């Protein structure tokens, strides 16, 4: 069983987990409420630290506690945990105070009181990859079992699979036989229940609608829509049993008109509608369902578009480089840091949030923009982006693509007019 844990923070500057520290989650009362105890100890370099005053409420009764590395006991000293050989501190500080301490951190050890599990991260500037963050979350959740799935099991990080409670399973979400096999494996373990199901299936895709190959578009919908729905159907009984939580990762592109992403946006928006409907249908069974509306994140999927190209007869040939730059993440759009995105999503899942969660930043702007302003403003903006590229082309390129000077300026003027007047287009 998972133990829910409110308030998680990943310290982006150092890439070190300082989970929930400003929300008073590690004192004795909270530990008693959640029926487990957890703290973080840090081994410091020789530099002197500022004197820090701690409230007595942070002094949870977990001492004496033996260091998992050398088996020596910690002793409490002025609200800090003092290692026999070096200085260590109880991590139940405010995030601001802890950030000062982390400047001299040599090693961070994440400890759980019940099973003595820990993780060491060498160096103060260690940047945690997605798998590493999941490892830390294991100590925070007191996770008994984690199932990590991939089409290629060898690509699942070794830092994750090295843990006894992590089981790597082969799963191609487009193959029903894979889904059936994985669901059967999980149903046979422990009590046959699944506390959390995170549906992160997705295939990115860029192509103007008029250039879309219909069979390719069907594959996009197959991966981004039908596969997640198949997983939801197969795993629903496992999630209903412990009254668990389901999360679907959807896309902000389904809420605005993003050129060249029509098929992808359509598949993700349909998944969001289906998942949000499932939220209502599963509510009587005590299952909570969440959609995480996601914008552009700094990931490694851009290299997959190195061989991307338009059809030879495409109307958009003159701006193929502009579209390719967007595919490969080389445009001017600011993307979300992966670590910050993951920590916020995990936080919402641990809170058992329901409905829709819009990750902050540009995605929040989309949320409020589409809620408060006329849609024509967004249509006008995207038209302005597209046709400003066309205006920059030579007449020869435009003629070769069948785009006349009058058409270019007319579309451009229409876009500007829509933005100024707020009229429907």
- CB of 131 within 8 A of CB of 109? no
With a CB cutoff of 8 Å and minimum separation 6, the contacts of 123 are 106
Query: In the structure encoding, which two tokens stand for residue 261, read together?
Result: 């992403």
Active site residue ranges? 264, 268
With a CB cutoff of 8 Å and minimum separation 6, the contacts of 109 are 40, 41, 42, 43, 67, 68, 69, 118, 119, 120
With a CB cutoff of 8 Å and minimum separation 6, the contacts of 353 are 288, 290
How far is it, in rounded angstroms, from Cα 101 to Cα 347?
Answer: 23
How far is it, in rounded angstroms, from Cα 290 to Cα 287?
Answer: 10
With a CB cutoff of 8 Å and minimum separation 6, the contacts of 41 are 67, 74, 81, 83, 88, 89, 90, 91, 109, 111
- E strands, 32-115, in order: 38-44, 75-77, 80-82, 105-112
User: Which residue, chain included where needed, has tokens 């409490």?
Assistant: 76
- CB of 185 within 8 A of CB of 238? no
Query: In the structure encoding, which two tokens stand for residue 86, read together?
Result: 């070096």
Helix (H/G/I), strand (E/B), else coil: 165 = coil
How far is it, in rounded angstroms, from Cα 355 to Cα 157?
Answer: 31
What is the DSSP secondary structure assignment for residue 392, as one 8-state letter? Answer: T
């Amino acid at each position: 069983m998972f133990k829910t844990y409110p308030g998680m923070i990943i310290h982006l500057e150092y890439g070190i987990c300082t989970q929930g520290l400003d929300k008073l989650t590690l004192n004795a009362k909270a530990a008693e409420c959640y029926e487990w105890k957890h703290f973080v100890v840090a081994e410091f370099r020789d530099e002197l630290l500022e004197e820090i005053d701690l409230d007595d409420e942070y002094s949870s009764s977990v001492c004496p506690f033996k260091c998992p590395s050398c088996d020596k006991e910690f002793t409490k000293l002025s609200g800090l945990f003092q290692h026999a050989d070096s200085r260590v501190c109880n991590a139940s500080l405010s995030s601001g105070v802890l950030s000062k301490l982390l400047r001299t951190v040599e090693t961070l050890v994440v400890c759980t009181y019940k099973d003595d599990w820990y993780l060491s991260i060498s160096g103060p500037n260690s940047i945690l990859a997605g798998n590493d963050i999941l490892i830390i979350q294991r100590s925070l959740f007191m996770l008994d079992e984690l199932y990590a799935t991939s089409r290629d099991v060898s690509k699942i990080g070794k830092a994750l699979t090295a843990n006894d409670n992590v089981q790597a399973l082969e799963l191609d979400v487009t193959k029903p036989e894979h889904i059936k096999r994985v669901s059967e494996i999980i149903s046979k373990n422990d009590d046959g229940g699944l506390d959390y199901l995170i549906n992160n299936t997705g295939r990115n895709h860029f192509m103007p609608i008029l250039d879309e190959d219909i069979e390719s578009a069907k594959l996009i919908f197959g991966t981004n829509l039908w596969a997640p729905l198949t997983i939801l159907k197969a795993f629903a009984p496992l999630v209903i049993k412990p009254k668990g939580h389901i999360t679907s990762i959807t896309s902000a592109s389904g809420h605005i008109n993003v050129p060249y992403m029509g098929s992808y946006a359509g598949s993700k928006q349909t998944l969001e509608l289906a998942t949000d409907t499932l939220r209502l249908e599963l509510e009587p069974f005590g299952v909570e369902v969440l959609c995480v509306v996601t914008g552009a994140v700094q990931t490694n999927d851009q290299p997959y578009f190195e061989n991307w190209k338009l059809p030879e007869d495409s109307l958009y040939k003159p701006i193929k480089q502009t579209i390719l730059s967007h595919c490969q993440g080389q445009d001017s759009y600011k993307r979300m840091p992966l670590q910050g995105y993951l920590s916020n999503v995990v936080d919402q899942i641990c809170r058992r949030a329901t409905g829709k969660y819009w990750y902050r930043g540009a995605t929040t702007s989309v949320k409020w923009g589409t809620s408060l302003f006329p849609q024509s403003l967004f249509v006008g903006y995207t038209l302005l982006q597209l046709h400003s590229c066309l205006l920059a082309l030579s007449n020869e390129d435009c003629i070769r693509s069948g785009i006349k000077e009058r058409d270019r300026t007319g579309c451009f003027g229409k876009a500007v007019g829509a933005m100024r007047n707020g009229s429907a287009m």
